[in-house]
Amino acid sequence: MPFSTLGLSNEIVRAVTERGYTKPTPIQMQAIPIVLSGGDLLAGAQTGTGKTAGFTLPLLHRLSSIHSVKNVSSGFPPIRALILTPTRELAAQVEESVHDYGKYLKLKSMVMYGGVSIKPQKQRLKDRVDILVATPGRLLDHVGQGTVNLSRIEVLVLDEADRMLDMGFIHDIRRILSLLPKKRQNLLFFATFSDKLKTLATGLLNHPTTIEVARSNVTASTVAQKIYQVDRDRKRQLLAHLIRQHKWFQVLVFTRTKHGADRLVKQLAEDRIQALAIHGNKSQPARTQALAKFKNGNLQVMVATDIAARGLDISELPHVVNFDLPNVPEDYVHRIGRTGRAGAEGEAVSLVCVDEYHLLADIEKVIQQELPKEVVAGFEPNPDIKPEAIKNGRKPKGDKGKTRAIDKPSLQASPKPSPIRTPVDGKPRITHRSASGERRSSKTSKS
């Protein structure tokens, strides 16, 4: 089924075709008609399935086919559509998609996020902006200064809503929602469903259509996964060895902490491997520059914390390495989802020491898959090394900051995963249901 059959304008189909896309993905086939109809949508799909186009394409079509209200006597022109994202990098990439897909339309878009000067953003908001892509914190900065007009929002999109809740944006989101018109279309996209997300959806969506294109927490079949067992103090040497031996280029490496990312970059430099770090303590210009070099193929290794696990869309990224396993097993899915996107093949490697055996067991339970394990000659783990507590990094839900007790199980003795259940016909499932759950909140953080 080509894009032209989904009811999109010729201008949008032309822009999509020029990007090299001919057939819509399952999430796009199901989401686009619903968004075009004007109904609310709750959509879940595993990472790398093309959900950004699933809402940007019909959003562009709707706004271009409906004339905006021009009766604005004074102040800043009203925004027509608001897209909220959890991270600066994702905001930039979503706005880039809006710009590219809408290149033949008369709509105007902009992106706003923190870490950069607010003055150019204020200046831009004085002109017409139809579609605004923003992180919650910087948007509220503009609200506080009276430099953004949200009084006539027609469509609200929460992209990676589950990640926003995990990062503590619930209070910011509720404050933003209170500023929007009651009558509007709401689109909520997520990768993993939770009680917090159910609660948010209950108060936000009006008789939504719910789409679940793939089972939550499933890793893409196009990603080859492997575990390398190694001692904690030999991980860096093993990583350098793998990069050299296999001639890896464009490698995205995840660490648990910002300090660990910076330290690894320095160590790789000693091995004459070019690397840059991207994390929350880096300035926005530094993050943007590192990401641009990496996407353009001018940087061999980019080391990141989980800030980069969601939203990074790098065409045909071949390698993802978990230098440290994440404390939250769902984050493993988001990390390795940076490769194997849009049908391309990718490789995800994890360097696992004795401290992380319990984390590996948690990951295998979540993805319902036992991962292949291998030991590289010369890097055999010492069986006499005792596990140490992992104190840094994001804590699992319900941990309340406490360090988990660590046992030393046999990796081969991991509980056997239960079989993956998929529909008999293999087609995406569409259901109509309301979301409900108990009210919970979390701490607010900056974007």
pLDDT band at 291 (very low <50, low <70, confident <90, very high): confident
What is residue 261's three-state secondary structure?
Answer: helix
Residues 52-76: tens digit of each pLDDT: 999 999 999 999 987 665 545 457 8
Question: In the chain, pLDDT over 70 holds for what percent of residues?
Answer: 80
Among residues of the chain, what percentage have pLDDT more than 90? 57
Same-domain check for residues 171 and 127: yes
Q: C-alpha 134: how far from its chain's center?
A: 14
Give 308's pLDDT tier (boundaries 50, 70, 90): low
Determine whether 53 is exposed, middle or buried from the number of CB atoms within 10 Å of its CB (0-12, 13-18, 19+): buried
Domain count for the chain: 2
The DSSP H or E segment spanning 346 is strand 346-352
Q: Which of 46, 89, 120 is nearest to 311 (CA)?
A: 89
> What's the domain range around 401?
223-413
Same domain, 206 and 310: no
**pLDDT, tens digit, for every residue of 371-387?**
999 999 999 999 999 99
Strands of 223-229's sheet, edge to edge? 275-278, 301-304, 251-254, 319-322, 346-352, 223-229, 373-374
pLDDT at 66: 78
Q: How confident is the model at residue 83 (pLDDT cuts 50, 70, 90)?
A: very high
End-to-end CA distance of the chain: 39
Task: State which of 161, 191, 215 marks the end of a domain.
Answer: 215
For the cut 50, the answer to whether the pLDDT of residue 419 exceeds it is no
Phi, psi angle pair for 286, to nearest 5°? -65, -40
How far is the C-alpha of 303 from the C-alpha of 318, rounded, in Å? 15
pLDDT at 425 exceeding the cut of 70: no
Residue 162: pLDDT band (50, 70, 90) is: confident
Q: Which of 195, 215, 235 is the last residue of a domain?
A: 215
Q: 174 vs 397, which has greater pLDDT?
A: 174
Q: What predicted TM-score, i.e. pTM, was given to this entire model? A: 0.65
pLDDT tens-digit map of 257-289: 999 999 999 999 999 999 999 988 888 888 888
Residues 105 and 252 in one domain: no
354 and 382 part of one domain = yes
DSSP of 208-256, one letter per residue? -EEEE-S-TTPPPTTEEEEEEE--GGGHHHHHHHHHHHTT--SEEEE-S
Domain-located, residue 322: yes
Non-local CB neighbours of 205 within 8 Å, separated by 6+ positions: 40, 41, 42, 186, 188, 434, 435
Mean pLDDT of 163-180: 92
| Alpha-carbon distances, residue 183 vs 40, 113, 274 (angstroms) | 11, 26, 51
pLDDT of residue 222: 72
Copy the structure tokens of residue 63: 């706004």
Task: Answer yes or no: is 139 within a domain.
Answer: yes
| Whether residue 289 sits in one domain with residue 197 | no
Within a domain: 100: yes
DSSP code at position 149: B
* CATH number of residue 22's parent domain: 3.40.50.300
Domain boundary at 215, 238, 260, which?
215
Q: At what angle do helices 136-145 and 170-178 cross, to 10 degrees?
A: 40
Distance CA 310, CA 267 (A): 26
Q: Tens of pLDDT along 183-213?
A: 999 999 988 777 888 999 999 999 999 998 7
- Helices 51-65 & 26-37 angle (0-180, nearest 10): 30
Q: Residue 397's pLDDT is what?
A: 47
The closest alpha carbon to 84, from 167, 28, 27, belongs to: 167
